[in-house]
Amino acid sequence: MGGSFKSLKGQFLLDGGKLNGSFFHRAVVFVCQHDPEGAFGLMINRPTGHTIQELSSEVIP
């Protein structure tokens, strides 16, 4: 991967339908962290079975 790094933190990633058959088909992901080491995001348009309180205290670093 060449060029300069541009963080996507705070952005939304949207699948416009081209990832058919993928877990990310029609997904909306909010990018919580993104650096040269990796990324972390939350898929906001799918049920998780967790409350926001659970996610904020256990999942989000």
Query: For 4-18, how does the pLDDT look when each residue is reduced to its tens digit (9 = 90+)?
Result: 999 999 999 999 889
**Domain tally for the chain?**
1
Residue 24's domain comprises 12-59
| 23 found inside a domain | yes
pLDDT band at 56 (very low <50, low <70, confident <90, very high): confident
Which residue in 28, 33, 27 sits closest to 7, CA to CA? 33
Query: Cβ–Cβ contacts within 10 Å for residue 31, how many?
Result: 16
Give the list of residues 6+ apart from residue 27 with CB closer than 8 angstroms, or none. 13, 14, 15, 19, 43, 45, 46
11-54 per-position pLDDT tens digit: 999 998 899 999 999 999 999 999 999 999 989 999 888 887 88
The answer to whether position 1 is within a domain reads no
> Domain for residue 7, yes or no?
no
